[in-house]
Amino acid sequence: MTEIRAQDGTVSAAFQSALEVIRRSDPRIADAISSELTDQRESLKLIASENYASPAVLLAMGNWLSDKYAEGTAGRRFYAGCRNVDTVEALAAEYARDLFGARHAYVQPHSGIDANLVAYWAVLAQKVESPALAKAGVRGVNDLGDADWARLRADLGDQRMLGMSLDAGGHLTHGFRPNISGKMFDQRSYGTDPATGLLDYAAVREAAREFRPLILVAGYSAYPRLVNFRIMREIADEVGATLMVDMAHFAGLVAGRVLTGDFDPVPHAQIVTTTTHKSLRGPRGGMVLCDDEFADSVDRGCPLVLGGPLPHVMAAKAIALGEARRPEFRDYAARVVDNSRALAEGLLRRSATLVTGGTDNHLVIIDVSRYGLTGRQAESALLDAGIVTNRNAIPRDPNGAWYTSGVRIGTPALTTRGFGTAEMDEIAELIDQVLHGTEPAPGKDGRPSQALYRLKDGLAEHISGRAAEMLAKNPLYPEIDLP
Ligand SMILES: *Cc1c(COP(=O)(O)O)cnc(C)c1O
């Protein structure tokens, strides 16, 4: 963000004027927007899925591009007057292809979940619907007779997916019942080796051979190690599955060339989905990259499962992808991982227990049962001390998915603020002190509670004071000055 910092006055003025205009319409909304900046500035944000987008990314979203309907894709719209949206979407897609070395990029998904739905339906269209249409000798679904249509609908709903289990770090959208993917697909999951905590490729292969899924999903939101996508593709090929990698969490590390070779999903997977707001540091949104084989089907995402594209967000995606193509972003991605390692080492040195014993990426999972706490208690105590994290299940979690036994922390956001490895060690110290200084408190009935806790007197104030000093040294959006 160095380049933007040079234009101090301009950036400040832009946000000040925007807020003034909003204030005239609804002061309470203007206040909430200003107040969010203060909250973000004053919290030590270790939420692994969050970041801070640049002022240019933020400003690209607040304008009249939002007023345009643009169903279809660049140059092939169902609405007239889309020339500027075409420019925006074509540039965002070009930057995405270039940045990730992808054959095709679809930048319309509104979020990561939407990107996954687009991808799943693209695979179903290619591998189930198209053959059925060919067999019936018709061009489109409207040409099928009632019996053929009924059979196709049944077939679309009778496909299999193999994905990473939730407690090993997989995502709800990888075929779990509370999400639509679990209602669409018959899902089975693979996990990690109980001894090492690492992804067990032999077990994935065995499950794939036995289950023969249509789609093998790789990717995670809470696994602190690397995944070898070359091996995952070999497994998928062996059983005729399509490999889809959901890189929502680690797209920034791929863009920043920290994850290369076997660990870069793009050359190995037929389809790669992502969010744009996590480590990639763009606007809240999603994206699909794919091989030529799936390009046409992926492009039908809207209106198949997506509402009209958000042209203002596509503009912000283009800005963010452009930023990620610069050399500074490689430096950023490398620092994210250096910081994550330093944080893990700092915690281990203070005798914390970490899932898999450490990290190779941007996130760390602390097993807080070592401190006699549930994830819920640890998360709340840390928040009292000004440290924002989120609780997370650990493999074979005895406390289930609600209370959990883990806390997930990640470094993309603080690295954007300028935090370095020495500060990560200090944060490890603060986390360790909070967790040591917290004990479970009994519930109303006197029995141990999974949610209630007690922090040592004065500890929260002491820790948040030290956190505030670190935050002051690494100001957020120093180029933005609100009155
Ligand atoms: C965050 C995440 C998603 C969902 O992204 P949204 O933008 O919240 O819809 C999907 N998959 C993975 C692996 C994620 O980490």
For 146-185, the pLDDT digits (tens) are 999 999 999 999 999 999 999 899 999 999 999 999 999 9
The DSSP output letter for 144 is S
Residue type at 11?
A: V
Tell me if 166 is assigned to a ligand binding site: yes
Cis peptide before 55 (omega within 30 of 0): no
Question: Is any atom of ligand 1 closer than 6 Å to the C-beta of 112?
Answer: yes
284 vs 114: CA distance, rounded Å: 12
449 vs 462: CA distance, rounded Å: 26
Alpha carbon of 141 to ligand 1 centroid (Å): 31
Instruction: Place 4 in a pLDDT band, splitting at 50, 70 and 90.
Output: very low
The DSSP output letter for 362 is S
Alpha carbon of 119 to ligand 1 centroid (Å): 13
| 66-324, CATH topology level | Aspartate Aminotransferase; domain 2 (3.40.640)
**Residues carrying an active site annotation:** 69, 71, 246, 275, 278, 284
Alpha carbon of 337 to ligand 1 centroid (Å): 20
Question: Is any atom of ligand 1 closer than 6 Å to the C-beta of 249?
Answer: yes
pLDDT tens digits, 423-437: 999 999 999 999 999
66-324 and 335-473: same fold? no
Q: What residues are paired with 421 via a beta bridge?
A: none
Cβ–Cβ < 8 Å for 427, 46: yes
- Cβ neighbors of 310 (< 8 A, separation 6 or more) are 66, 108, 110, 285
Burial of 469 (0-12, 13-18, 19+ CB in 10 A): exposed
Tell me if 268 is assigned to a ligand binding site: no
- The residue extents of the domains of the chain are 66-324, 335-473
Instruction: Place 278 in a pLDDT band, splitting at 50, 70 and 90.
Output: very high
Mean pLDDT of 216-234: 98
Task: State yes or no: pLDDT of 62 exceeds 90.
Answer: yes
Instruction: Place 126 in a pLDDT band, splitting at 50, 70 and 90.
Output: very high
For strands 215-219 and 242-246, give the pairing: parallel
pLDDT, residue 5, reads: 52
Tokens of 393: 């299940």
pLDDT, residue 2, reads: 45
pLDDT tens digits, 206-221: 999 999 999 999 999 9
Instruction: Place 132 in a pLDDT band, splitting at 50, 70 and 90.
Output: very high
From 113, 277, 313, the mutation candidate for ligand 1 (largest count of ligand atoms within 8 A of CB) is: 113
In 3D, which of 79, 59, 86, 52 has the Cα closest to residue 311?
A: 86
CA 52 centroid distance within chain: 13
Atom of ligand 1 nearest to the CA of 285: 7
Asked whether the whole model's pTM tops 0.75, one would answer yes
| 335-473, CATH topology level | Aspartate Aminotransferase, domain 1 (3.90.1150)
Question: Is any atom of ligand 1 closer than 6 Å to the C-beta of 273?
Answer: no
pLDDT tens digits, 349-387: 998 999 999 999 999 999 999 999 999 999 999 999 999
Instruction: Place 8 in a pLDDT band, splitting at 50, 70 and 90.
Output: low
pLDDT, residue 1, reads: 45
Mean pLDDT of 18-39: 97
239 vs 186: CA distance, rounded Å: 16
How many of the other CB atoms lie within 10 Å of CB of 352?
Answer: 21
Mean pLDDT of 215-239: 98
Cβ–Cβ < 8 Å for 362, 412: yes
Alpha carbon of 124 to ligand 1 centroid (Å): 21
Question: Is any atom of ligand 1 closer than 6 Å to the C-beta of 163?
Answer: no
Tell me if 58 is assigned to a ligand binding site: no
Question: Is any atom of ligand 1 closer than 6 Å to the C-beta of 274?
Answer: no
pLDDT, residue 78, reads: 87
Q: What residues are paired with 287 via a beta bridge?
A: 274
Cβ–Cβ < 8 Å for 154, 124: no
Question: Is any atom of ligand 1 closer than 6 Å to the C-beta of 299?
Answer: no
Alpha carbon of 10 to ligand 1 centroid (Å): 34
